Amino acid sequence: MSQRIFNFNAGPATLPLSVIKEIQSGLDNYKGCGMSVMEISHRSKWFDDIINDAIIRIKRLLNIGDEHEVLFMQGGASMQFAMIPMNFLKDNETADYINTGTWSTKAFKEAVIQGKKVIETASSEDRNFSYIPKELNLTADAAYVHITSNNTIKGTQWADFSDTKGVPVISDMSSDIFSRSFNIDKFGLVYAGAQKNMGPAGVTLAIIRKDMLEKIPDNLPSMLKYTTYADKNSMYNTPPCFAIYVVQLVMKWIEETIGGLSKMEELNRKKAAILYDFIDNNTLYKGTADLDSRSLMNVTFRLLSEDLEKKFIADATENGLGGLKGHRSVGGCRASIYNAMSIEGIERLVEFMGEFARKNG
Ligand SMILES: *Cc1c(COP(=O)(O)O)cnc(C)c1O
């Protein structure tokens, strides 16, 4: 491959080329400090500037005030699954979980393993997780309600977040954070692995409302409680410096190149519309998610047969369109069209899909 492909992988995923070039240009000598970002101390002024700028940009983009803390952690979204019940669910309390697919199921299981009282109050498993449930049946005094805002594998997404009557919402936003604006106020915790829409694997963003920090028991291991990260500006131990640096650059890209989150959202809606419109108007392809639950980030679809899907993915790869295979647990096809996927990439994909349909339909 002599040039970059259009990368539709679900995660790790495509990053803005300008960000990659920016990393490259100063790689061996970051801002004249005589070292690369991989080599500087996390206690240095250089790194302090990086992490603080990243936090400021994140707060500005999501319109976050002083009620929330922005934390950088490790262990991916999967470690958050375990930490959430550990930190926020006492033995005499219950928490609600909405099950919309693989990741929600995993989050729920981590609470069950710990012997916590959790209730699956709503689920879309009856129709293979192809929609977002409308009746949530929330428990009035639940400690929290856990949702997965975008279901990366099934291609569904919460269009908006309903009123939970004061019960804090905890959301796994791994695959749609920074793709659209939302009101942070009702969220007690939002978390996301960086490798879908924010940067490389290795850092996890957590945005926590300060009142949630007060609920955390003292007798937890230091690395497994949010207070440790909040008290030390995410530097209780060595943070994933390089990954945080890339996140900083991606945030700068959203603000300065794209023009902010509402511009980003506009672009994402436009991209998804082009692709879904094409799928809906071509008989060779069939979207798998209900229309009102469709994801702006992960477009899942099937062809008429599995053999045809194999050929489609192989031909696409040969044409510089990579990563279109569905998750190994569900099969089919999936185009992940995160922030860094350009309109041009979508147009190329649609053009290819049209040609493929003409030849194979
Ligand atoms: C990818 C993904 C995960 C898993 O994240 P890790 O960082 O690998 O633990 C969890 N939730 C969602 C919604 C995802 O897309």
Is the same domain home to 264 and 252? no
pLDDT above 90: percentage of residues in the chain: 95
Q: Which tokens is 297 given?
A: 């980030």
Q: Answer whether 105 contacts ligand 1 (Cβ < 6 A).
A: no
Residue 340 Cβ < 6 Å to ligand 1: no
Please report which helix (H) or strand (E) contains residue 21, including its range: helix 17-25
- Same domain, residue pair 237 and 253: yes
Cα R_g (the chain), whole angstroms: 21
CA of 346 to the centre of ligand 1 (A): 24
Statement to judge: residues 304 and 165 lie in one domain: no
Is pLDDT above 80 for 2? no
Please say if 196 is a catalytic residue: yes
Residue with tokens 């250089």: 46
173 with 11: CB under 8 angstroms?
no
Q: Contact at 8 Å (CB) between 193 and 243?
A: no
Nearest-CA residue for ligand 1 atom 7 is 76
Q: Distance from the CA of 77 to the center of ligand 1, in angstroms?
A: 5
Residue 29: the pLDDT is 96
Distances (CA, A) of 306 to 24, 233, 301, 303, 361: 41, 49, 12, 7, 14
- Whether 172 is catalytic is yes
What's the CA-to-centroid distance between 109 and ligand 1, angstroms?
15
Q: Rounded distance, CA 208 to CA 151, Å? A: 21
**Residues ≥6 apart with Cβ < 8 Å to 279:** 285, 286, 287, 299, 301, 353
Same domain (yes/no): 155, 212? yes
Is residue 13 domain-resident? no
CATH number of the domain encompassing residue 336: 3.90.1150.10
Instruction: Using alpha carbons, list the distances in angstroms from residue 162 to 42, 77, 280.
Output: 40, 23, 28
Task: Identify the residue whose C-alpha is closest to ligand 1 atom 2.
Answer: 174
Task: Specify the range with the lowest mean pLDDT, choosing from 151-165, 255-269, 342-356.
Answer: 151-165
Q: What is the pLDDT of residues 199-224, one digit of tens each?
A: 999 999 999 999 999 999 999 999 99
Statement to judge: residues 131 and 202 lie in one domain: yes
Write out the residue range of the structural domain in which residue 191 sits: 21-257
Q: Collapse the DSSP code of 214 into the 3-class scheme (helix H, G, I; strand E, B; otherwise coil) and give the result.
A: coil
pLDDT at 223: 98
Q: Is the CB of 200 under 6 A from ligand 1?
A: no
Instruction: Measure the CA–CA gap between 204 and 175, rounded to whole angstroms.
Output: 12
Catalytic residue among 96, 172, 225, 253: 172
Residues 6+ apart with CB under 8 A from 273: none
Q: Distance from the CA of 343 to the center of ligand 1, in angstroms? A: 25
- pLDDT for 136: 92
Q: What is the model's pLDDT at position 218? A: 95
- Quote the number of domains for the chain: 2
pLDDT of residue 259: 98
Pocket test of ligand 1: the residue of 149, 174, 179, 328 to mutate, having most ligand atoms within 8 Å of its CB, is 174
Other CB atoms within 10 A of residue 59 CB: 18
Say if CB 295 and CB 268 are below 8 A apart.
no
Contacts of 120 (CB under 8 A, 6+ apart): 97, 98, 99, 108
**Mutate which of 175, 179, 203, 337 for ligand 1 pocket (most atoms within 8 A of beta carbon):** 175
In-domain check, residue 347: yes
> How many Å apart are CA 143 and CA 164, to the nearest integer?
11
> For 133-147, how does the pLDDT look when each residue is reduced to its tens digit (9 = 90+)?
999 999 999 999 999
Digit-coded pLDDT (tens) for 100-126: 999 999 999 999 999 999 999 999 999
Residues 213 and 352 in one domain: no
Query: If pLDDT is split at 50, 70 and 90, which confidence band does 330 have?
Result: confident
Average pLDDT of the residues of the chain? 97
Furthest-apart CA atoms within the chain: distance in Å:
64
Question: Residues 355, 357, 361, CA angle at the centre, nearest 5°?
Answer: 140
Whether residue 215 is contained in a domain is answered as yes
Tell me the pLDDT band of 73, cut-offs 50, 70 and 90.
very high
313 shares a domain with 288? yes
Cα 187 to averaged position of ligand 1 atoms, centre (Å): 19
* Residue 10 in domain: no
Whether 297 contacts 271, CB under 8 Å: no
Neighbour count for residue 287 (Cβ, 10 Å): 17
Residue 14 domain-assigned? no
Exposure string for 128-141, b = 16+ CB within 10 A, e = fewer: ebbbbbeeeebeee
What are the helix (H) ranges across 156-209?
A: none
Do 41 and 136 lie in a common domain? yes
44 touches 50 (CB < 8 A): no
Q: What is the CATH number of the domain that holds 189?
A: 3.40.640.10
Q: Give the pTM.
A: 0.97
**Ligand 1 proximity of 78 Cβ (cutoff 6 Å):** yes
Q: Show which of 206, 232, 257 is a domain's final residue.
A: 257
Residue 26 in this model has a pLDDT that exceeds 90: no
Confidence of residue 78 (pLDDT cuts 50, 70, 90): very high
Question: Where does a domain end: 231, 257, 283?
Answer: 257
315 is catalytic: no
